[in-house]
């Protein structure tokens, strides 16, 4: 008997913040949440996409976000049903390494620094290990997204050999960065580090979350 994916979610941490978890194995069955996820990605990432080799086209991004292998883990505010944060995950391979690929990790501006990104990363590691039986998580991060890179490094993520690399110009010594890096970390490391981050006193973040 297959255990339902929802059974692998430990929602005590987010419940205490008036949030509920919704897991969608086919985002196309919930157009409302799909639109909210799309709007959040656009709000957070539009400028970076525009400056990168990828560019931004609403229809293309929506198509990519609608792909059915993606599993969405969404955090909604209990009362208002506002989308607060989400991650989308794919059971796949990167450079012949079986892995869970974290396609998106997005937190609304006003909910940042409340460990929701950490909780979603922890949950992705739990799902990778227990549901998808994968040992690694991979992701893509824009090289200009220094904040996200320092966030990911806390969970042991580092550049994979399949990633574009920075090039040092021989004469000037100037470093030319690619538009993006492919990062990876082991599920064991992510789980250990995210547990440490999540159990650190929430007071060290910016306090409790005000209602939506």
Ligand X SMILES: CC(C)(COP(=O)(O)OP(=O)(O)OC[C@H]1O[C@@H](n2cnc3c(N)ncnc32)[C@H](O)[C@@H]1OP(=O)(O)O)[C@@H](O)C(=O)NCCC(=O)NCCS
Which residues contact ligand X by CB under 6 A? Answer: 44, 105-107, 112-118, 141, 145, 147-148, 150-151, 154, 197, 200, 205
| Closest CB to ligand X among residues 118, 123 | 118
| Closest CB to ligand X among residues 29, 196 | 196
Beta-bridge mates of residue 77: 19
| Closest CB to ligand X among residues 2, 89 | 89
The CB-of-144 to ligand X minimum distance in angstroms stands at 10
Q: How far apart are CA 90 and CA 43, in angstroms?
A: 23
The CB-of-202 to ligand X minimum distance in angstroms stands at 10
| Closest CB to ligand X among residues 122, 132 | 122
| Closest CB to ligand X among residues 115, 129 | 115
DSSP state, residue 3: P
The CB-of-173 to ligand X minimum distance in angstroms stands at 27
* Long-range CB contact pairs, 86-95, < 8 A, 24+: 86/37, 86/40, 86/120, 87/120, 87/121, 87/123, 87/124, 88/27, 88/37, 89/124, 89/127, 89/128, 91/132, 91/134, 94/138, 94/160, 94/162, 94/182, 94/184, 95/160, 95/161, 95/162
| Closest CB to ligand X among residues 29, 177 | 177
Q: Torsion-angle region of residue 207: left (phi > 0), alpha (psi -120 to 50) or beta?
A: left
Nearest residue to ligand X, by Cβ distance, number only: 117
The CB-of-125 to ligand X minimum distance in angstroms stands at 13
Instruction: Say what the alpha-carbon torsion angle 198, 103, 130, 85 is, to the nearest 10 degrees.
Output: 40
CA-derived radius of gyration, the chain: 17
The CB-of-130 to ligand X minimum distance in angstroms stands at 21
22: tokens are 């919704």
The CB-of-3 to ligand X minimum distance in angstroms stands at 27
């Amino acid at each position: 008997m297959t255990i339902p994916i929802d059974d692998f979610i430990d929602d005590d941490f987010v419940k205490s913040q008036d949030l509920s978890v919704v897991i969608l194995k086919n985002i196309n069955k919930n157009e409302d949440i799909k639109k909210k996820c799309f709007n959040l990605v656009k709000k957070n990432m539009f400028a970076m996409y525009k400056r990168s080799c990828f560019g931004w086209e609403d229809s293309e991004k929506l198509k990519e976000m609608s792909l059915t292998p993606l599993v969405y883990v969404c955090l909604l505010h209990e009362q208002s049903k506002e989308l607060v944060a989400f991650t989308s995950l794919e059971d796949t391979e990167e450079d012949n390494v079986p892995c869970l690929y974290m396609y998106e990790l997005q937190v609304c501006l006003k909910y940042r620094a409340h460990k929701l990104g950490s909780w979603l990363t922890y949950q992705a590691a739990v799902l990778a290990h227990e549901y998808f039986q994968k040992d690694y998580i991979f992701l893509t991060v824009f090289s200009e997204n220094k904040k996200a890179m320092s966030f990911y490094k806390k969970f042991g993520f580092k550049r994979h050999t399949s990633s574009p690399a920075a090039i040092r110009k021989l004469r000037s010594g100037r470093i030319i960065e690619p538009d993006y890096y492919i990062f990876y970390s082991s599920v064991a490391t992510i789980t250990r580090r995210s547990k440490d981050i999540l159990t650190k006193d929430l007071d060290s973040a910016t306090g409790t979350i005000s209602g939506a």
